[in-house]
Amino acid sequence: MKTGIGIIGVGTVGSGVVEILESKIAYYKQELGLDLKIQQICAKTEDELSPYAQKGYAITTKVEDLFSNPDVSIVIELAGGYDLPLKWITAALNSKKHVVTANKALIAKYGHLLFPLAAKNNCHLLFEAAVGGGIPIIRALQESLTGNTVKSLRCIINGTCNYILTEMTEKGLGFASVLADAQKLGYAEADPTFDVDAIDSAHKLAILASLCSKKYINFENMHISGIREIEAVDIDSAKEMGYTLKLLGIFNQTEQGMDARVHPCLVPSNHLLASVSGVLNAVYIEANNLGPALFTGAGAGKLPTASAVVADVVSIARSMEVGLKPIPMGFYSQENPADLVPIESLFNKYYFRFTTRDEKGVLAAITSILSENGISIESIIQKNVKDPGHVNISVVTERCREAAVNNALLKIGALSSMSQHPKMIRFAE
């Protein structure tokens, strides 16, 4: 039985998918008995498509052609964006085509519409490449860990941010200059908002957290903060304390409900996640039977991402042969939303940095506000800064409630001696 493939988009990942399929199709036939064939390739312009037409592939600029093509059983969507792909995948599923996508934004935003539609049409909708690029974390959560409940998860799932933080840590540079370098090297987009403001991480965390919790977690309900405000001085303080600053996606199943959020974190430097540097991604889970486990590898890039897409295609082809039903994703729907615990109710250990004028009584004012809010201090360090007449006061708290921290920082920020807005970074638990 021939399994026909239609591809939407021949940008970086799409061209990688064609490349891998071309090199592997003979092997899949011989070793796995699967007869895969790229039946049609779609892109916006004839120009993009011409190298594929030259190789003899059927091409089209009309995406609908794929859905009406009886020889196409699997549609691979690699175009990016939200709304067009939603329309396309809806049409593909309604035409009884199985779908593979690498589009995390789409799954995070519209997965709750698409998974029920896929189930209704008895179609597979696979998305291994959407989180962690080539790291097989989706299949691990869906299949390998069926004997476990994943109680908590910590992840580094944006290579751009991890690259920027690694460079800042290793070279002592500031955010802006590292970002500029990353843009030159192609590790950051011209408009880096999605990455550095942690929207991309939030999309991916929402998907992972939904798979762990078996509830639909809407990324719009999560606390999300990025790395724009991180300064070299905070990374240095972290180092001195034996911590490494990372942008983490965090998920916990708590007695109060699901806790899912993305923000910068201080990770103990001897923790496995602290060693994940540069553009690498990593997912660290704590499962009730397995205990802790870490998966790390390339989170982006042409061939790593394409290899995950191809694994999904092979998986669907194997299943199609015998009519294996998709792994139920029924939980991922609007009718089954997670109760997210508001971040204000959570308890954490915190690092604060207050930059103040070097005036009598400042330290006393700060410590008394913290004390009034029930925040106990674990350590406090005062250091002179370059700017004469100013000091940095670094505080590490014991475990306390975020709401109390917000109150205290509001009051401390209003003190007349403060020369900068107070900085706060949470410790990873």
CB nearer to its own copies: give 186 or 291.
Answer: 291
Give residues 28-47 in contact with its own copies (rule: CB under 8 A): 28, 31-33
Cα 410 from Cα 354, distance rounded (Å): 12
Question: In terms of residues, how long is the chain?
Answer: 429
- Those residues whose C-beta lies under 8 Å from the C-beta of residue 199, and which sit 6 or more positions away, are 193, 224, 226
Give residues 324-363 in contact with its own copies (rule: CB under 8 A): 324-325, 327-328, 330-331
CB of 125 to its own copies, least distance (A): 17
Cα 117 from Cα 379, distance rounded (Å): 54
Q: Which of 59, 66, 224, 276 binds its own copies (CB under 8 A)?
A: 276
CB nearer to its own copies: give 121 or 307.
Answer: 307
CB of 277 to its own copies, least distance (A): 9
Cα 296 from Cα 282, distance rounded (Å): 4
Q: Which of 5, 63, 118, 135 binds its own copies (CB under 8 A)?
A: 135
Name the CA dihedral angle for 361, 364, 369, 372, rounded to a multiple of 10 degrees: -140
CB of 338 to its own copies, least distance (A): 16
Number of residues located near its own copies, criterion CB under 8 A: 58
- Name the segment binding its own copies (CB under 8 A); options: 56-64, 133-141, 195-203, 353-361: 133-141
Cα 399 from Cα 427, distance rounded (Å): 10
14 binds its own copies (CB under 8 A): no
Told to judge if 29 belongs to the known catalytic residues of this protein, a careful annotator would answer no
139 binds its own copies (CB under 8 A): yes
335: left (phi over 0), alpha (psi -120 to 50) or beta: alpha
CB of 93 to its own copies, least distance (A): 20
308 binds its own copies (CB under 8 A): yes
140 binds its own copies (CB under 8 A): yes
Q: Which residue has the tokens 């295609």?
A: 313
Give residues 79-118 in contact with its own copies (rule: CB under 8 A): none
Q: Which of 93, 306, 346, 425 binds its own copies (CB under 8 A)?
A: 306
Cα 208 from Cα 249, distance rounded (Å): 9
- Name the segment binding its own copies (CB under 8 A); options: 44-52, 85-93, 115-123, 127-135: 127-135
CB nearer to its own copies: give 16 or 111.
Answer: 16
CB nearer to its own copies: give 278 or 374.
Answer: 278
Active-site entry in 104, 204, 246, 423: 204
Instruction: Write the interaction track for its own copies spanning residues 160-199; mark x where CB under 8 A is met and - where it is not.
Output: ----------------------------------------
Give residues 245-274 in contact with its own copies (rule: CB under 8 A): 270, 272
Question: Which residues pair with residue 397 across a beta bridge?
Answer: 377
Q: Which of 150, 178, 227, 298 binds its own copies (CB under 8 A)?
A: 298
- Those residues whose C-beta lies under 8 Å from the C-beta of residue 315, and which sit 6 or more positions away, are 124, 126, 139
- Name the segment binding its own copies (CB under 8 A); options: 1-9, 87-95, 246-254, 288-296: 288-296
Phi, psi of 249, rounded to the nearest 5 degrees: -90, 135
57 binds its own copies (CB under 8 A): no
Active site residues: 204
Binding region for its own copies (CB under 8 A): 16, 20, 24, 28, 31-33, 128, 134-136, 139-140, 143-148, 214, 270, 272, 275-276, 287-298, 301, 303-304, 306-311, 314-315, 318-319, 321-325, 327-328, 330-331
